[in-house]
Chains A and B, each alone.
Chain A
Amino acid sequence: MSALTIENLDICYGESKVTHDINLSVAEGESFALVGESGSGKTTVLRAIAGIATSWTGSITAFGQARSPGIDRGFARQCQMVFQDPYGSLHPRKTVDATLSEPLAIHGIADNGERVDEVMQSVGLDRRFRFRFPHQLSGGQRQRVAIARALILRPKLLLLDEPTSALDVSVQAEILNLLKRLRREQGLTYLMVTHNLAVVSFLCDRLAVMRHGRIVEVASADQLKRGALEDPYSRELIQFSPSHPA
């Protein structure tokens, strides 16, 4: 079954149309990347799927369930989002415990704290961090909390918006390994936005290249590794990629 199907998606911010006729299909268990320069609309697509951007036409279907624009709790249980900047995405005055318990309270899931324990363990956060505030954590630890918050509802689809671009290379490696392990262990499907093609090569099976709000090419990670992308713009992206062997 397809985990996520997007058909003819046009997203607007006010008067201006940001994406044009996006069509995507992500299989269950697949890891799919959206790449492109800023302003190409890749984050906007994630925001529409997550229900943050509400003004769109077309259809978004996850696991056979269509979503309406706006808040959709049933959909939220299936699909959660991890944001780019762990310094901005965690509430500064809430402890890790409060941050992780909130989704449970919103969805009316009774729990005596075991689920928080379990999810912290699965993202590799030690128990002693449970009652700390974000400012007492490092960048990597914060991103682990953000991933834990997304996982606590046991979703099947994770939307990842540049999950490692705010982190140091060594911490980036830890978070990428974590994401890879979680996907294997929990059978997750990823839709990830990034501008780092090397990250795509490490973590994803397929990618779509976006430009000016349109998808210009869909390719497999193998094609990327071989440098066999066809669209001239995609080739340009590979060329500018810093880890491109010069």
Chain B
Amino acid sequence: MSALLEIENLRVTFPTARGPVDVVKGLSLTLGRERLGIVGESGSGKSMTGRSILRLIRAPGKVTADKLRFDGIDLLAQSDRQMRAIRGARISMVMQDPKYSLNPVMTIGAQIAEALLTHQKLGRTDIRGRTLAMLEAVRINDPARVLGLYPHEVSGGMGQRIMIAMMLIPEPDLLIADEPTSALDVSVQAQVLEIIDDLVKRKGMGLILVSHDLDLVSGYCDRILVMRAGEVVEECIASELRNAKHPYTRGLLAAIPRLDEDREELPVLQRDEAST
């Protein structure tokens, strides 16, 4: 089977007063139907990588690549109209914070139905049925009641599950999750990841999980890319993250406090600036 997503030498550039700055510098990756984690600190270019796959980077930002192919389609050659048919239907993205990603003046039901209707023609009862089923799949109690609620009437964890329902209802082949759980509680985090995991397994989706949480990614993904300043510094099998070799990855791992912490001080990464 050919790869779901192939990227070669991806470069994202933004112009600044001091000349163009590359925020992603020549990234290459191949993704099958698997769970890939991208980790790194803020500013490492991990979100930009996710966004450039969906061609969501607007001018003056510039995306170039030797190859950016999804399921045989050259994404860089698509027109905006063609891209709109791909976004949502074939590649979907879950954003970080449900508070900002849900439309505050539309009911939950209407928003999920919109995601479905954009890509398919369906009757009203079909839509309602599919929406209810999807909300149930993301473990929302009493979905019929939730359909009529507005985003401010649901909790953060519920909002994020609704976002996931909305992104998954067109049954995409590839899901890009950009920090899908960092706004959530630990206990809810586990639930949300379990839901995504279940759907990845059952529908054979590809998943790119972008996160700064090494523990979470190593416990959840098959493969991990560690990014720093726009470059991939290390690639490894998730279970092998503990044995990472690159000093940057080791530094990140050492900086995480442990549950049975007995170190007097946590090691910090050396930076170029005087103080961060």
Contact = CB atoms under 8 A, between A and B. Distances in A.
Q: Do A and B bind each other?
A: yes
B215 interface: yes
A27 B255 CA distance: 29
B142 to A, nearest CB: 18
A243 B215 contact: yes
A196 B262 CA distance: 16
Contacts of A236: 187
Contacts of B215: 242-243
Interface in A170-224: 170-174, 176-177, 180, 195-199, 201-202, 224
A241 B260 contact: no
A242 B186 contact: yes
Interface string A231-246: 0000011101111111
Nearest to B215: A242
Given A170-B268, A240-B187, A198 B258 contact: yes
Contacts of A168: 41-42, 212
Interface in B230-276: 251-252, 255-269, 274-276
Interface in A17-64: 37-39
Interface stretch (A107-115, A133-141, A150-158): A133-141
Given A140-B276, A169-B212, A245 B187 contact: no
A230 interface: no
* Chain A interface SS verdict (over half): helix
Nearest to B262: A225
Contacts of B216: 242
Interface residues of A, number: 42
Interface in B202-220: 212-216, 219
A208 B251 CA distance: 31
Contact of B275 (A38, A125, A240, A244): A125
Given A240-B187, A243-B215, A170 B261 contact: no
A141 B190 contact: no
15 contacts: A37-B188, A126-B275, A141-B275, A169-B214, A171-B276, A173-B268, A174-B268, A196-B186, A198-B256, A201-B260, A226-B260, A227-B259, A242-B215, A243-B258, A244-B259
